[in-house]
Amino acid sequence: MMKSCKKTTIGGQALIEGIMMLGPEKSAIAVRRADGEIELKVDEQKKLTERYKILSWPFLRGIAGLFESLKRGFAALEYSSSIAIEEIEEEPTRFEKWLEKKFGSRAVESAVMGIATVLGIAIPIVLFIFLPTLLAGTLDKYIGSGLGRNLLEGLLRIVVFLIFMFSVSRMKDMKRVFSYHGAEHKTIFCYEAGEELTVENVKKFSKEHPRCGTSFMFSVMIISVLVFSVVSWSNPFVRMGLRLLLLPVVVGISYEVNRYIGRHDNFLTKIIRTPGLWFQKFTTFEPDDGMIEIAITALREVIPEDSEKDNW
């Protein structure tokens, strides 16, 4: 069931035993504690595009949004893991004691989050930019043209991305996260259809949503093929550098394309969004009632009083 009367800007992120929902005025994180109760954290939020008007301009808003979502997403994941996983009392190692004594526990936590953020950005760059570039470079002598090499590199990038996401989706722990992802989509669909947010109502809706962040990631892969194909250089390391420089361009264009697709329902947009919806079969699973309850709890907190404020 995919009936939708409203297109909302409210979006979410699946967490460890929980969901974060982000509305126009508030963000809410709902997490299932080890004792079965729901822990709820609600914060007022002001986006970068509201604080700095220049970042609300087309193209720039996509880059700002990606940076902000990465920062907020890692913080939400850290929070959900601290709530969902029972803490086991263990004697700190000498190194841990030294770090806390030297820098303080808060500084150590900040450092860990900083390292996690850097790794979260670095790993995708290595997998989806450096690795395909190197692989395509090894086949240079068989290709014979810069355009052919760039197109092959783009194809390899998509293949690596699909293999990575398929492998992750097979992991037992990630299946639960992806089930929460499905609960997030179904709940937003229910809200957009104007139906009461109950578990039974939410269960009727689709787990694949056209304005999902996963579809955005897939759009980035496709658009990167087009953007990177116009820049040709034989040296693989120079090509890697150019790819990194062009990455903000790819993100900016992808955001505007997704924004257009999300606002319109016509033959062209249906064709463009189909690969993203298909890809969500890897990243969303059917949730259980408890997961839907979590999604409803988080969503209710971020729905604005003015129904116009969250229109897409």
| All residues at 6 or more sequence positions from 13 whose CB lies less than 8 Å from its CB, including other chains | 19, 20, 22, 69, 73, 76, 184, 213
- Would you call 8 helix, strand, or coil by DSSP? strand
Give backbone dihedrals phi and psi of 255, rounded to 5 degrees, phi first: -65, -45
Residue count of the chain: 312
> 87 pLDDT exceeds 50?
no
> 309 pLDDT exceeds 50?
yes
148, two tokens: 């052919």
Domain boundaries, the chain: 11-84+94-302
- Average pLDDT of the chain to the nearest whole number: 82
**End-to-end Cα distance, the chain:** 21
Cα–Cα dist 100/36, whole Å: 32
C-beta of residue 21 within 8 angstroms of C-beta of residue 302: yes
C-beta of residue 45 within 8 angstroms of C-beta of residue 20: no
Angle between helices 236-263 and 60-84 (to 10 degrees): 90
C-beta of residue 262 within 8 angstroms of C-beta of residue 210: yes
> 279 pLDDT exceeds 90?
no
Percent of the chain exceeding pLDDT 70 equals 84
Torsion of CA 247, 280, 200, 6, to 10 degrees: 50
Query: What's the rounded mean pLDDT across residues 161-179?
Result: 86
Tell me which residue of 40, 15, 41, 4 sits closest to 187, measured CA to CA: 4
Does this model's pTM top 0.95? My answer is no
Tell me which residue of 306, 213, 296 sits closest to 40, measured CA to CA: 296
pLDDT the model gives residue 301: 97
> 1 pLDDT exceeds 70?
no
> 88 pLDDT exceeds 50?
no
Quote the DSSP letter at residue 37: P
Q: H helices of the chain, where? A: 48-51, 60-84, 94-103, 105-125, 131-138, 140-143, 146-169, 172-192, 199-202, 213-228, 236-263, 267-283, 289-302
pLDDT the model gives residue 118: 67
> 92 pLDDT exceeds 60?
no
pLDDT the model gives residue 6: 86
- Token pair 């043209």 is at which residue? 145
Query: What's the rounded mean pLDDT across residues 127-136?
Result: 79
pLDDT in tens, 214-268: 777 777 878 888 887 777 666 777 877 888 888 888 888 988 888 888 788 888 8
C-beta of residue 216 within 8 angstroms of C-beta of residue 255: yes
CB atoms < 10 A from the CB of 230, how many?
10
Tell me which residue of 280, 167, 162, 298 sits closest to 214, measured CA to CA: 280
Q: Pick the most confident of 13-17, 49-53, 84-88, 210-214.
A: 13-17
Dump the DSSP string for 149-169.
HHHHHHHHHHHHHHHHHHHHH
